[in-house]
Structure 1
């Protein structure tokens, strides 16, 4: 008696592992075959109350899900034997296999993303941060997340392997910051903004050139350099890229001439610890308005208008004449405690 039981246990174990290793299409075909054969056996055994399409689907599903409400059950001895020997082993095994495969797929996606191997190429309007500096990148992430819209996602592409990635960002690890495959996985092709900030100017130069070649024309690409020569190369070859050059020596000299200037500049560039921060907005497709008129409107909203950057130019103009017209597409720079909605100002 023990030998047949062992053989039966091995048979069920082999069947379960075979189902677990099968493709989704094969698995659903097996489930469909099992359900159809059950319906045929019930029809032959005279289970007329369970063979109606809706009734049978409901009974089979609750049985497979192991819910077992008890409102429907076989009424004949043959139907009960079919349920015990055929329906229970097959339906429950199929259900648990589906659950196991779904959980395994979710776990695999989670594992790949945590290891930096996720694919975010399908994301739109994301912000891609290329490079990692242990001292500066975490602060940059905090600054970005403090003013990040709900529709945007921050994606970090780095060569470093991060044991504990920041939960606020999607993490992509690659041996190369210029790899087309890595940049694509990080979503550069559909990004709204790309920030390049690495440990060295040579890496920043290479990554900026590679990202600019992949990013859409509408994307805003920003890069940071310590050395002026590297910054000049980007200006020459990629004039649409916004280059940020280290202002250390200039800031020291300015603080010497105007005490406290460095604190003011630092406060205007941070959104975390300041009561007033530098923001910008693009004037919407509305009638043009004089700069002085808009300055008064912003003042009523608790903001101070500083400069205007025409849509076709890269150089902002500070304190233009009051009668200067602000056209659709022009960018306005202002100081405020919170970001303003351009549509509310235009109304």
Structure 2
């Protein structure tokens, strides 16, 4: 029993210490050694075609043993018994152990957030962790089924494990700090297309936003949530490109009191999980400006979408709600509309407005 334990321990040590290049060199060495010995033994049936020998060698060392190829000479049988099987089993067991260790390490990295995501591009970054809101944020993002490039990367500094281990669309990374440039490179911050900043407090949200603002892509959509309007105003002074949302529970309570059902309308407009909701599309290069009245009627009849506002700016500054019929919509304007699902810009026949 003791020798068996030592052998198992030896295999674990080999799997842990061997590098992949060394592992492949061992496989190659074992294969070439046995191949040359069979040539010396005159086993032409096994060595005539290299692919046949590779197949035969793998069948033997993996202990499958189909029996369709086998040595015929006494020397060939001795090579199998004393060289091919012992060396092959050691190399094969080490390879299996190395592969198993690789998958174990990948699973551990996924759970503890130590993986490197520098290769990510056009992804969604969710910065910060809050037990009461982060899970709902992820559900709402994934609820938009027509959202393109929906890979989410959840980034936290807390000592937690991956809260979404079974969701392939959500990756997890644990950072030392949001101000560490090396860590920001690890999450491919400069390549992110959309960023949500949702700290456990307004101070944390403000701190994260200020730390990352210098390194983000100028075209990235960045939003930060605050409870205190003064913190949001402070961020807008330093980072005007970031869209700040402010808790509106007080306004919602008053609106529901004055106009019953308002809270349900707002709930549906903001949720991608059920029914019609609020979306945004940017107009492409237009041949000439379009009157809002024409745009509204064509969108409603052709796409069942209702335009309710537009802005010249991505972050919604100078938003115009319920524009007058004669208002002109220009190239690059951001149209905010209500629809049962997202309508992509290339799904609209813009020449129809000419």
Normalising by the smaller structure, the TM-score range is: 0.7 to 0.9
The whole-number CA distance in structure 2 between the counterparts of 1:117 and 1:45 is 52
Normalising by structure 1, report the TM-score: 0.88
- Write the mapping of 1:303-322 to structure 2, written as runs, cut at 5 A: 303-311=305-313, 314-322=317-325
1:332 correspondence with 2:328:
no
Indicate conservation of the 8 Å contact 2:11/2:93, yes or no.
no
8 A Cα contact 2:226 2:246, kept in partner: yes
> In structure 1, what is the Cα distance between the partners aligned to 2:179 and 2:89?
50
* Residue 158 (str. 1) matches residue 160 (str. 2): no
Contact kept in structure 1, 2:271 and 2:277, CA below 8 Å: yes
Instruction: Tell me which residue corresponds to 1:282.
Output: 282
Whether 2:93 is the aligned partner of 1:92: answer: no
Deviation of 1:272 after TM superposition, in Å, equals 2.4
Secondary structure, counterpart of 1:213 in structure 2? coil
Tell me if 1:345 matches 2:345: no
CA distance in 1, matches of 2:308, 2:259: 20
Identify if the C-alpha distance between structure 1 residues 116 and 193 changes in structure 2 by more than 3 Å, giving closer, same or farther.
same
- In 1, the alpha carbon distance for the partners of 2:266 and 2:121 equals 33
Equivalent-residue separation in structure 1 for 2:37 and 2:8 (angstroms): 24
Q: C-alpha distance in 2, partners of 1:13/1:193?
A: 49
Q: Which segment is superposed worse, 226-235 or 142-151? A: 142-151
Alpha-carbon spacing, 1:103–1:16, altered in 2? closer, same or farther (3 Å): closer
Describe the SS at the equivalent of 1:223. strand
1:149-201: CA deviation from partner (whole Å, max 9, x where unpaired):
36321121223344561233222223534333443333322211111111211
**How do 1:38-117 residues align onto structure 2 when only pairs under 5 Å count?**
38-52=34-48, 53-117=50-114
Residue 32 of structure 1 is matched in structure 2 by 28
Preserved CA contact (<8 Å) 1:193 1:219 = yes
Please report the RMSD computed on the Cα atoms of aligned residues, expressed in angstroms.
2.6
Shift of 1:109: 1.3
Q: Which runs of 5+ in 1 are unaligned?
A: 1-5
Q: Distance in 2 between the 1:14 and 1:251 partners? A: 65
Task: Tell me if structure 1 keeps the 8 A contact 2:11–2:97.
Answer: no
Equivalent position SS for 1:214: coil
Question: Is the 1:131–1:177 Cα contact (8 Å) retained in structure 2?
Answer: no
Describe the SS at the equivalent of 1:114.
helix
Secondary structure of the 2:45 match is coil
Gaps of at least 5 residues in structure 2 are none
Give the distance between the partners of 1:136 and 1:17, measured in 2 at CA.
Answer: 43
The structure-2 alpha-carbon separation of the partners of 1:99 and 1:13, relative to structure 1 and needing over 3 Å to count, comes to closer
Mark the CA change 1:172 to 1:161 in structure 2 (over 3 Å): closer, same or farther: same
Greater relative contact order (Cα 8 A, min sep 6): structure 1 or 2? 2
3-state SS in 2 of match to 1:280: strand
CA deviations over 1:232-270 (Å, ceiling 9, x no partner): 111111111101112233333333443333332222112
For normalisation by structure 2, the TM-score amounts to 0.86
Asked if the contact 1:212/1:221 (under 8 Å) is kept, the reply is: no
CA distance in 2, matches of 1:11, 1:129: 47
Question: Is the 8 Å Cα contact of residues 128 and 187 (structure 1) preserved in structure 2?
Answer: no
Give the deviation of 1:293 after TM superposition.
2.2
Q: Distance in 2 between matches of 1:89 and 1:233?
A: 71
- Paired position in structure 1 for 2:195: 194
Pair 1:329–1:89, CA change in 2 (3 A): farther
Name the residue aligned to 1:121.
118
Q: Report the alpha carbon displacement of residue 10 of structure 1 after superposing the two structures with TM.
A: 9.8
Give the equivalent residue in structure 1 for 2:294.
293
Map 1:14-29 to 2 at 5 A.
16=11, 19-20=14-15, 21-29=17-25
Q: Name the residue aligned to 1:203.
A: 204
Q: CA deviation at 1:203?
A: 0.7
96-105 or 73-82, which deviates more = 96-105
Alignment equivalent of 1:131, drawn from 128, 133, 136: 128
How far apart are the structure 2 equivalents of 1:156 and 1:250?
Answer: 30
**1:97/1:40 CA distance change after superposition, 3 Å:** same
1:323, CA displacement in angstroms? 4.2
